[in-house]
Amino acid sequence: MTTTTPDLRVAVVGAGMMGADHVARITSTISGATVVAVVDPDTARADAAAATAPGAITAADFDEALAATEIDAVIIATPGFLHEAVLLPALDRGLAILCEKPLTTDEAASLRVLEAEQKLDRPHIQVGFMRRFDQGYRDLRALVASGEHGALLALHCAHRNATTPPSYSEEMLILDSVIHEIDAVPFIAGEPIVAVEVKKPRRNSLAPEGLREPQFVILETESGTMAIVEINVNVQFGYQVTTDAVFESGVASIGRETGLQLTTAARSAVAVPPTFKERFGAAYDTQVQRWVDAAHRGTIDGPSAWDGYLASVVATAGVEAQKTGRRVEVDYAMPKPSFYDLPGVVSPGE
Ligand code: ISE
């Protein structure tokens, strides 16, 4: 006789681009999980996302969904400043949680989340820093760790989006976009960020009125590796995220466009993905499958709330650097609690 484990019953909170993508992913690609609820105050958006998940109910808020159906796990895909309001009740109920980045949009809120989580028996929150599941990032991390080409001296990171919505503010360059590099740079370099500085070159006149971008965000790590991040979010042509790593005796690059190269009419071209959904599609799939598998085992398998907290400390310093033009040192309030060292909490790539 074979026994089958019941699917993880997942609520997806936030049915915007990312939330809708996760609903469709769980339904069509991921095994061991079913979307049972889609939560969004915008009923048209909730309905549209739920249409891809047979049997899922829709609800205007998380409480309504909790009251209406049995839920084991939640994916939080609302804007970052709304995460805490879902994280706290989800922790209270002991749900498995995949929280899209950022954990929260400021350090104080991240601390409150850490405190609430540490009242439980083990970490429940995995943070959606999906770049850690991208093969290029993992290869680069392994190359740095191997020491084969000497020390890592510098990283040139380009982070380019086609356009931004009207709600996108200057702070979001750091809190919503560079937050990915704020997590990825320590992941690649194997050491924490200790200082941030922001430089503002000539403004792109194609950016929405009032948005001062592109910007260069300089992240320094403990041993002096410098990552220079070009955040450039109205490039019009598509989505591009590349990293060039400079070692003592070599240079490595990830993220260049690959695939079919068509040469015709005196031109040669490779397609550029339109958005992050396509560029990081495989990484999102791996991340969600590993989170579901880990939830069945009662653990997480990826960046934890501690990683989310570290990123929010750096991001808070980054916003100060952006406002003042100064180099701002990062002050982590505490060492990593042993709670986050539990065996079974695996860092991807390890
Ligand atoms: C968006 O929220 C993401 O997470 C994307 O990966 C990033 O490239 C974009 O700039 C953000 O707004």
Helices 17-28 + 43-50 axis angle, to 10:
20
Same domain assignment for residues 268 and 151: yes
Listing DSSP states for 137-157 in one string gives HHHHHHHHHHTTT--EEEEEE
Asked if residue 346 is part of any domain, the answer here is no
Mutate to test the pocket of ligand 1, among 276, 277, 279, 284 (most ligand atoms within 8 A of CB): 276
Ligand 1 in reach of 187 Cβ (< 6 A) = no
Asked if residue 348 is part of any domain, the answer here is no
Mutate to test the pocket of ligand 1, among 99, 175, 180, 275 (most ligand atoms within 8 A of CB): 180
Asked if residue 47 is part of any domain, the answer here is yes
For residue 149 the two structure tokens come to 């080409």
Asked if residue 259 is part of any domain, the answer here is yes
CATH number of the CATH domain containing 139:
3.30.360.10
pTM of the full structure: 0.96
Asked if residue 51 is part of any domain, the answer here is yes
Same domain assignment for residues 46 and 117: yes
Same domain assignment for residues 34 and 112: yes
For residue 80 the two structure tokens come to 């970052």
By three-state DSSP, how is residue 88 classified? helix
In angstroms, the CA 257 to CA 259 distance is 7
CATH number of the CATH domain containing 49:
3.40.50.720
Query: How high is the pLDDT of residue 333?
Result: 87
Asked if residue 322 is part of any domain, the answer here is no
Which numbered atom of ligand 1 lies nearest the CA of 100?
4
For residue 183 the two structure tokens come to 């997590």
Same domain assignment for residues 93 and 166: no
pLDDT in tens, the chain (350 residues): 556 889 999 999 999 999 999 999 999 999 999 999 999 999 999 999 999 999 999 999 999 999 999 999 999 999 999 999 999 999 999 999 999 999 999 999 999 999 999 999 999 999 999 999 999 999 999 999 999 999 999 999 999 999 999 999 999 999 999 999 999 999 999 999 999 999 999 999 999 999 999 999 999 999 999 999 999 999 999 999 999 999 999 999 999 999 999 999 999 999 999 999 999 999 999 999 999 999 999 999 999 999 999 999 999 999 999 999 999 999 998 999 999 996 655 565 45
Same domain assignment for residues 205 and 300: no
Same domain assignment for residues 241 and 145: yes
Q: Residue whose CA is closest, atom 9 of ligand 1?
A: 177
When divided into structural domains, the chain yields a total of 2
Same domain assignment for residues 118 and 167: no
Q: Pick the closest to residue 286 from 135, 139, 185 (CA basis).
A: 135
Same domain assignment for residues 124 and 171: no
Query: How high is the pLDDT of residue 345?
Result: 58
Amino acid at 112: R
C-beta of residue 239 within 8 angstroms of C-beta of residue 276: yes
Same domain assignment for residues 241 and 123: no
Same domain assignment for residues 141 and 270: yes
Ligand 1 mean position, distance from CA 276 (Å): 7
Ligand 1 in reach of 161 Cβ (< 6 A) = yes
Asked if residue 86 is part of any domain, the answer here is yes
Q: Pick the closest to residue 120 from 346, 337, 349 (CA basis).
A: 337
Same domain assignment for residues 40 and 120: yes
Same domain assignment for residues 193 and 268: yes
Domain limits for position 41: 8-131+282-311+333-340
Asked if residue 2 is part of any domain, the answer here is no
In angstroms, the CA 240 to CA 250 distance is 23
